[in-house]
Amino acid sequence: MSREIVVLGAGMVGVSVAWHLVRQGHSVTLVDRREPGRETSFGNAGIIQREAVRPYRFPRDLGTLMRVLPNREVDIRYRPTGMFGAVSPLLQYWINSGKSRYAKIVPEYASLIMRCLETHAPMVEAAGADHLVRRDGWLELYHTQKPFDERIAEARENRDRFGVEFEVLDAAGLYAKEPHLKKGLVGAIHWIQPWTVADPGALVQAYAEHFQQQGGRFMQAEVKGVEKGGKGWKVTTTGGETLEAEQLVVAMGPWSGKLLSRLGISVPLFVKRGYHMHYASADEYTPTTGSWMPRPASCSSRCVPAFA
């Protein structure tokens, strides 16, 4: 049965949801204050991470906490004022990163990640966006042996439980594949399944354009208010227009919490700021795999990709 649905937020999540809903025959209006893919979805590593079946945990070991406390590391930086303003969600994040709670969360999270390629594939094809995507995985590089061995053990468990595919490369195998890398690395894990995207913002835009070609409607406007009423939901914009829908999807990223709080819904969200860099390769060299990511001995999270 066809329904009228409003999707708030035209990032990767909102556009993807809208795209699949209109394909199912629903009447869908997508709303964002900017053009699709121009906020959080614009500048990121651009990896559709089939291997990332475990959510990143809040650091709980004393060594990591002491390392990041001086606020001088590249992988974790924070503003004290921002930390105080997000005490409640950060506390819940810390609690749910505990061993028993985290163990229950992983399979639920993995069940979504395991479907990422099969969900993106028809979108890429229909939107004519194949030129933006590489399907040769990416390399996770290591400087020292201990974290490399620990990651291999985790990868093997993820292979057995969640079908993650990978190849372990020792130093010789790594430099045979990527001879232009600086010497001194002990090895790498080649995650085989993930796709890398040359321009994440452009991919979102391609999906959004095809969404409209299928009959979906995009409205560039800022949401002023949301309330129950009319057909089910009523959305008002700063331009004075009112939208009515049977169902509402809120996919506004870090801005979702503020909107939902007006409806009496508390979602523990906080902003995690990210950065991206663009690199030019010497002598027009192109890496064999879609991207490289260094993992120093002390790095407890994904580092800035050398190539994306």
d(Cα 34, Cα 220) in Å, to the nearest integer? Answer: 6
- Cα–chain-centroid distance for residue 120? 13
Confidence at residue 270, expressed as pLDDT on a 0 to 100 scale: 79
Q: Return d(Cα 84, Cα 90) in angstroms, integer.
A: 9
pLDDT in tens, 65-120: 787 777 777 667 777 777 777 888 889 999 999 999 999 999 999 999 999 999 99
Predicted confidence band at 156 (pLDDT cuts at 50, 70, 90)? very high
Q: Which CATH class is domain 138-192+277-308?
A: alpha beta
Q: What is the pLDDT of residue 302?
A: 33
Residue 297 has pLDDT above 60, yes or no: no
The domain 1-57+98-132+198-275 is placed in CATH, from the list 3.20.20.60, 3.20.19.10, 3.50.50.60, 3.40.50.300, at 3.50.50.60
Confidence of residue 292 (pLDDT cuts 50, 70, 90): low
Q: CATH 3.30.9.10: which residues of the chain?
A: 138-192+277-308
Structure confidence at residue 283 (pLDDT): 65
Q: Assess contact for 10 and 31: CB atoms under 8 A.
A: yes
State mean pLDDT over 220-224.
94
The mean of the pLDDT values for the chain is 88
Give the model's pLDDT for residue 304.
31
Q: For the ranges 50-64, 130-144, 154-168, which has the lowest average pLDDT?
A: 50-64
Per-residue pLDDT reduced to its tens digit, 170-204: 999 999 999 989 899 999 999 999 999 989 999 99
Residue 294 pLDDT = 54
Query: What's this model's pTM, rounded to 2 decimal places?
Result: 0.86
Number of Cβ within a 10 Å radius of residue 104: 9
pLDDT computed for residue 298 by the predictor: 33
Please list the residue range(s) of the chain that carry CATH number 3.50.50.60: 1-57+98-132+198-275
For 253-271, write each residue's pLDDT tens digit. Answer: 888 988 999 889 988 887 7
pLDDT at residue number 277: 66
- Whether pLDDT at 20 is above 80: yes
Question: What's the whole-number mean pLDDT along residues 11-16?
Answer: 97
Q: Which of 59-63, 68-72, 120-124 has the lowest mean pLDDT?
A: 68-72
Q: How far is CA 294 from CA 69, 143, 232, in A?
A: 22, 8, 49
With the CA atoms of 129, 54, 114 and 122 taken in that order, what torsion angle do they form, in degrees rounded to the nearest 10? -10
Range in 122-126, 149-153, 231-235 with the lowest mean pLDDT: 231-235
Q: Determine the Cα–Cα distance for residues 42 and 235; give it in Å rounded to an integer.
A: 25
CA atoms within 13 A on the CB side of 167: 15
**Which residues, in sequence order, are bridge partners of residue 151?**
none
